[in-house]
A and B are shown apart, each in its own frame.
Chain A
Amino acid sequence: MDQLNSKVPQGKLEEKWDKYQANAKLINPANKRKLNIIVVGSGLAGAGAAATLAELGYHVDCFCFQDSPRRAHSVAAQGGINASKNYRHDGDSVWRMFYDTLKGGDFRSREANVYRLAQLSAPLIDHFTAQGVPFAREYGGVLSNRSFGGVQVERTFYARGQTGQQLLVAAYSQLSKMVEAKKVSMYTRHEMLELVVIDGKARGIITRNLVTGEIRAHNAHAVVLATGGYSRVFRLSTLAIGCNGSAIWKAHKKGAFFAAPSFTQIHPTALPQSSESQSKLTLMSESLRNDGRIWVPKNKDEKRKANEIPEDQRDYYLERRYPSYGNLAPRDISSRAAKERIDAGHGVGPLKNAVYLDFKDAIKRLGIQTIKDRYGNLFSMYKKITGIDAYQEPMLISPAAHFSMGGLWVDYELMTTINGLYAIGEANYSDHGANRLGANSLLQASIDGYFILPNTINNYLADIVKEEVPSIDHPEFQKSINEVRAHIDRLLSIDGKKTVDHFHRELGNIMWKECAMSRNQEGLIHAISKIKDIKKDFWKEVKVTGHDKEFNQELEKALRLADFLELALLMCEDALQRNESCGAHFREEYQSSDGEAQRNDEDYSYVSAWKYLSEDKFELVREQLIFEYVKPTVRSYK
């Protein structure tokens, strides 16, 4: 069996990162100029990495499928970014943030990585401030904070309800600066369709120009995947429509292990689905839970409007079940608690699939102006979509598929199991364990891109600095190009009777039902066989119109869905293998009498890293998690 080497440095937890940096290899500036790095994806992780690597002197080729790097889905993270600055003097520290994150992830992440995440959070805020992110400020000029789910201190920095947008714009600005300096070659509307591995090393990628259809090879000394999450496998999710798992899936098929694929965060505060025709679900920032109170009517057949239901007939179920965290209980717990109430018949809204998020008390306590200042754009967005004024009546919210904690397995250096292939941001599995705390995603993406990767990649490059990168005429590049072309031709030639969206809806339905908020053995076995059927049908019956040498969005969708159909199988296999409940992974067979998750540290304290064998065969390789500094405890928010 393959062995996984996490490369976690020896020594005290607090000193690991410093020690790593002190011992890492360096490359002199003259040699850096000769090295070329490919960065796929231009969100917070990708743009940060591309800009910083270029600043360091490397040449970078950066790719994104959108029309501009400033569109990457990082824009949609509204609420904030965590940093342990302890500006509020409320007892925050690197250790506390590390502990909150490790516990939030239900002790399924690596101690050393999580500690580094907390450690680098403070300088990251300095960095973004210097780049001109207009973070919220107090009247005296200092930075303002609020709190998020899963924590009891105020460590979240924010820029109105546009934090992700503003951080991304900052990263995009830095990237633009390096494009102008000709250190970064930016390829917009390009999608990576294959990874090229030669002699065990990542040597380049194959892309499709989405406007012209041109298939092209690009070579490099190292490849960095910063392609975000894959929750569009559920079809309805909070992710942008273009988000996909293709790049990491192709890398997986070429030898990169895929870790914890089934750990998907279900966000508790999305807008409820209103019809089958919906293309996505809209997220309302979790920051709303800071001041909003969540409730459902005690009476199942409640017909009255929310405001007409008296206090004693409301069930503030989060405050009832989790008195110390209340409405700030972590996402997995809040989502499951909502599902429990909805399933029990207390759901509200036209389809009875939502719960109330009420600001009445907050408005009474703080005044409408403060609420407008804090969440104004979220309230207006809510009104645009639903036509409801949430200053007057409670919002309707519902759980939705959101962040994928799973992704390519990476070591402490963020390198995958393929030499020279790195995965950063949501594309990797590293810091969040089985559940990500709110406002930690922007943080992880940013530190991976700005601070960690630019330090760790040298260690690999220093060894190959004298190696000649195989040219794109190398047979392996040509072989990959031919495979990509054949794959596209096969799709276009099917000319069946069903649309790509039809298959995506089918896949989404089964994944949402059997592999989302809660899972059980029977359902997962059923899902696996069903997905195989859908996949078979897809390759027989899908219809994609148009051709390959043009801007063809139907073809783009079909290519992504073909990968989702394979990835979905692995997600179900992973969920089936883990006979315990932890974080976002709730196996119905493993719960306490009061419905709380039952973790099994004795048998499952490991990261599941899957090796690809064939389209429906995967081999499990375990990375045992060693907790030297924190003793895993039962994760209670009561």
Chain B
Amino acid sequence: MKINFKIWRQENIQTKGAFRDYQLDGINEDMSLLEAIDFLNEKLVLQGEKVIAFDYDCREGICGQCGIFVNGRAHGPHDNVTTCQVHMRSFKEGETIVLEPWRAKAFPIVKDLVVDRSAFDRIIQKGGFISAGTGSAPEANSILIGKKEADKAMDAAACIGCGACVATCKNSSASLFTASKINHLDHLPQGRIESYDRTISMVKQMELEDFGACSFTGGCEIECPQSISISQIARMNNLFMKALLKKE
């Protein structure tokens, strides 16, 4: 197939970026969108041009590294998938595909379609863990957790940290990401012990990183590759209020 690409090119964070047009013929509809960019990049190299930088790694929809805004949607035209799981059969012959990076103040542009999501790492560093040292754990079955509760923990834990929730949110809120992590650990008895402190410090860090506030428009749950529900945010807010009260 023949596809026209409109792709954001930007040397680095200091320089200004702009869209550039590329026409590409010979695309196979079984190619993933990322493979189509690989294909385009090979052509660019042969023409002596710099390749289009984009993030990817596992290409199985699980590592969370890829993330491109495609035709105005995070990760492309389908609900709940990563960019690497979008195939060219999803587009029409001759279509123009617009590719741009995640746009959020907290995610500075590294180059072209690549952004810096280290703000997520810093949120986790503020409490997204259970303070259990290596070698001191009790017998695993001594911590009983009912299937339903374990499933709820898993529902939240499924977050892959791709940033689509932030990218699609009109406020650039990281609430779905932060809520997922907080709720995952709060659903488990071993994680509940630090819950209040964790919630307060992670939410604070989220604010410090310049993510916006959540206004419950629900875009995040549509774009989340793991279909994490927006109700996670409500649960986090509830926990946050309780944590504040408890603190006082």
Which A residues fall within an 8 A CB radius of B? 48, 51-52, 55, 66-71, 73, 75-76, 78, 85, 87, 123, 125-127, 129-132, 134-143, 159-160, 162, 165-166, 169, 172-174, 176-177, 179-180, 186, 188, 211, 240-242, 274-275, 277-280, 282-283, 381, 384-385, 387, 450-451, 454, 497, 499-502, 543-546, 550-554
Contact = CB atoms under 8 A, between A and B. Distances in A.
A85 B141 CA distance: 10
Interface string B102-137: 000000001100101110110011101111111111
B140 A129 contact: yes
Interface string B7-29: 00001100000000000000010
B237 interface: no
B160 interface: yes
A55 B133 contact: yes
11 contacts: A126-B137, A135-B150, A140-B144, A142-B141, A172-B124, A174-B134, A240-B59, A241-B56, A241-B59, A277-B39, A279-B34
Interface size of B as a range: 35 or more
Nearest to A381: B61
Contacts of A544: 45
A135 B157 CA distance: 11
Interface string B128-164: 1111111111111101111100100110011011000
B59 A282 contact: yes
B121 A176 contact: yes
A454 B144 contact: no
Contact of B137 (A52, A129, A162, A546): A129
B60 A546 contact: no
B149 to A, nearest CB: 8
A179 B138 contact: no
Contacts of A85: 140
Contact of A173 (B110, B128, B190): B128
B130 A545 contact: no
Contacts, number: 224
> Which 9 pairs, one residue from A and one from B, show the smallest C-beta to C-beta distance?
A141-B144, A173-B129, A130-B137, A126-B137, A137-B150, A129-B140, A134-B153, A180-B125, A134-B154
Contacts of A180: 125-126
Q: Which of B42, B129, B160 has the most CB of A within 10 A?
A: B129
Nearest to B120: A68
A545 B44 contact: yes
B73 interface: no
Interface of B: 11-12, 28, 30-32, 34-35, 38-39, 41-42, 44-46, 48-51, 53, 55-65, 78, 81, 85, 87, 89, 110-111, 114, 116-118, 120-121, 124-126, 128-141, 143-147, 150, 153-154, 157-158, 160-161, 184-185, 187-188, 190-191
Given A127-B134, A277-B39, A550-B12, A76 B49 contact: no
A68 B55 CA distance: 12
Contacts of B63: 66, 71, 73, 75-76, 240
A204 to B, nearest CB: 25
A163 B153 CA distance: 14
Nearest to B225: A384
A549 to B, nearest CB: 10
A123 B141 CA distance: 11
Contacts of B153: 132, 134
A76 B57 CA distance: 10
B137 A543 contact: no
B51 A546 contact: yes
Contacts of B137: 123, 126-127, 129-131
A73 B116 CA distance: 19
B139 A126 contact: yes
A71 B120 CA distance: 12
A240 B58 CA distance: 4
Given A241-B56, A241-B57, A545-B49, A165 B62 contact: yes
Nearest to A83: B140
B85 A51 contact: no
A137 B190 contact: no
A48 to B, nearest CB: 8
A138 B144 CA distance: 10
Contacts of B158: 160, 162, 165
Contacts of A87: 141
Contacts of B129: 131-132, 173-174, 176-177
A424 to B, nearest CB: 14
Nearest to A52: B134
A42 B34 CA distance: 25
A48 B133 CA distance: 11
A132 B130 contact: yes
Contact of B50 (A174, A278, A279, A546): A546
Given A132-B184, A176-B129, A177-B129, A76 B62 contact: yes
Nearest to A455: B135
A100 to B, nearest CB: 21
Contacts of A52: 134
Nearest to B48: A545
Contacts of B39: 277
Contacts of B59: 240-241, 279-280, 282
A134 B140 contact: no
Given A274-B30, A275-B28, A551-B110, A130 B138 contact: yes
